[in-house]
Amino acid sequence: MGLFTTVPRRAHRMVAPYTGEYVTKPDDNYGGDYVISLNAPPDAPPFKYVDARRTTDGAGRFSNSARRRDRRTNNSHLSANRNMRDAKVVATRNIPANTEVLTRYGDDYWR
């Protein structure tokens, strides 16, 4: 699996939405690997998360990370939208057509 772009993507532009169920307290009932934070300390609670485990309509959930390979191959990152209601995968550099979108998950993911 994975997320591939069929058209060129410009740096600092959205590649795909990251959507799912909105939760305020992720736990074992939620998706684990598919949960991302929309806000975190020092923001005020309640903290908000998107759990994409139970959906396949948000293409961003299919983006893999290149952690086990050369980290420089990552070409995108996850970003919360300003309204803190959803998230997106954003290109960190230009991505040519027919290229896999590889997203930096962050150091906390790998701990």
Domains of the chain: 4-110 (2.170.270.10)
What is the chain's mean pLDDT, rounded?
79
Q: Which two tokens stand for residue 54?
A: 């139970």
Confidence of residue 100 (pLDDT cuts 50, 70, 90): very high
Q: What is the pLDDT of residue 6?
A: 95
| pTM, entire model | 0.78
Instruction: Say if residues 38 and 80 touch (Cβ distance below 8 Å).
Output: yes
User: Identity (one letter) of the amino acid at 102?
Assistant: L
* H-assigned helices in the chain: none
Top-confidence range, 42-46, 72-76, 77-81, 96-100: 96-100
Per-residue pLDDT tens over the stretch 9-61? 999 999 999 888 877 776 656 556 777 777 765 666 667 778 888 777 778 88
- Percent of the chain, pLDDT > 90? 27
Residue 105 has pLDDT above 80, yes or no: no
90-95 mean pLDDT: 95
CA distance 13 to 89: 9
Instruction: Say if residues 101 and 17 touch (Cβ distance below 8 Å).
Output: no
